[in-house]
Amino acid sequence: MADFEKCSLALQKGQAKEVVAIVEEAITEGIGAKTILEEGLMSGMSIIGVKFKNNEVYVPEVLIAARAMNMGAALLKPLLMEEGVEPKGKAVLGTVKGDLHDIGKNLVRMMMEGKGIEVIDLGVDVSAEKFLTGAKENSAKIVCCSALLTTTMTQMESVVKGFVDSGMRDDVTIMIGGAPVTQNYCDSIGADIYTADAATAAEVAAELF
Ligand code: B1M
């Protein structure tokens, strides 16, 4: 039986090989991808978050934990995909300018792809202009912005403004999320939809299509 406690500890130590092995074991045992993600991976990452806040671990440790998390999560991607689903529509996705956090964004991508949505991932540190060009070039109907810092979430307002100024505001639905983001903030900047987690973001996006 895959040991999620061990997986969480390995993730916290950045032992990517160990994390990958336990995730593979859990998949073989037929445990659901969502359970593996939440109990094996995200549990470890939230402990790292608390330790990071309390200065018990520092950026290098967090980076190797994040690498282990991304490697484990990548194995779950095929399980999150619905077999034979035709692409429902296109979304562009990115972490806003000045922000390098990509784990939550990657989860949003995986969950959306799992719902049959084609996701154009613009990466991290994405400027308002890049969101605009990305949406235009790909004729994307949904624009997804992720932010993890209180100092960078304000970039989401620039993204909304960019679409207003270019006359494209009515062509897209702007979805926002990330730890510091709230429904109130979404309302205040004129974005369309706030969701608290990646799975809900994907459900809502699929409904929009
Ligand atoms: Co950063 N960091 N970090 N960090 N980091 C936080 C966010 C912080 C809360 C830690 C803390 O102090 N407790 C804090 C922010 C404080 C604040 O602004 N309020 C912080 C800080 C301060 C910083 C630096 C400034 C530290 C420094 O250098 N002094 C620096 C900034 C760098 C930059 O971006 N310019 C920094 C750097 C880093 C690392 C590079 C070391 C690393 C990132 C590695 C990577 O992403 N590849 C890192 C990490 C890993 C974290 C923590 C520990 C974990 C974040 C994470 O991946 N969580 C984090 C503490 C924490 O969150 N507890 C912290 C797991 C992930 C699944 O959750 O991304 O929230 P999350 O995604 C969730 C939801 O938010 C939602 O779905 C997911 C769940 O399903 N969601 C969406 C996300 N995007 C969405 C979009 C949607 C919908 C839902 O629609 C479009």
Residue nearest to atom 75 of ligand 1 (CA): 178
Each residue's pLDDT tens digit, 25-46: 999 999 998 899 889 998 898 8
- Model confidence at 86, pLDDT cuts 50, 70, 90, reads low
Cα distance between the two ends of the chain: 39
Indicate whether 152 pLDDT > 80: yes
Q: Calculate the CA 120 to chain-centre distance.
A: 13
Indicate whether 203 pLDDT > 50: yes
Q: How many CB atoms lie within 10 A of CB 199?
A: 20
Each residue's pLDDT tens digit, 109-144: 877 886 778 899 999 999 999 999 999 999 999 999
Give yes or no for a contact between 69 and 18, defined as CB atoms under 8 angstroms apart.
Answer: no
Q: Which residue has the tokens 């939809």?
A: 193
- Model confidence at 83, pLDDT cuts 50, 70, 90, reads very low
Pocket test for ligand 1, best of 56, 95, 101, 126 (most atoms within 8 A of CB): 101
Rg from Cα positions in the chain: 17
Fold (CATH) for 4-83: 1.10.1240
- Model confidence at 87, pLDDT cuts 50, 70, 90, reads low
CA atoms within 13 A on the CB side of 32: 4
Fold (CATH) for 90-208: Rossmann fold (3.40.50)
Does 101 sit in the ligand 1 pocket, CB within 6 Å?
yes
> Higher-confidence residue: 182 or 62?
182
Domain boundaries in the chain? 4-83, 90-208
Does 104 sit in the ligand 1 pocket, CB within 6 Å?
yes
Does 176 sit in the ligand 1 pocket, CB within 6 Å?
yes
- State in Å: Cα 99 to ligand 1 middle: 9
Residue nearest to atom 63 of ligand 1 (CA): 49
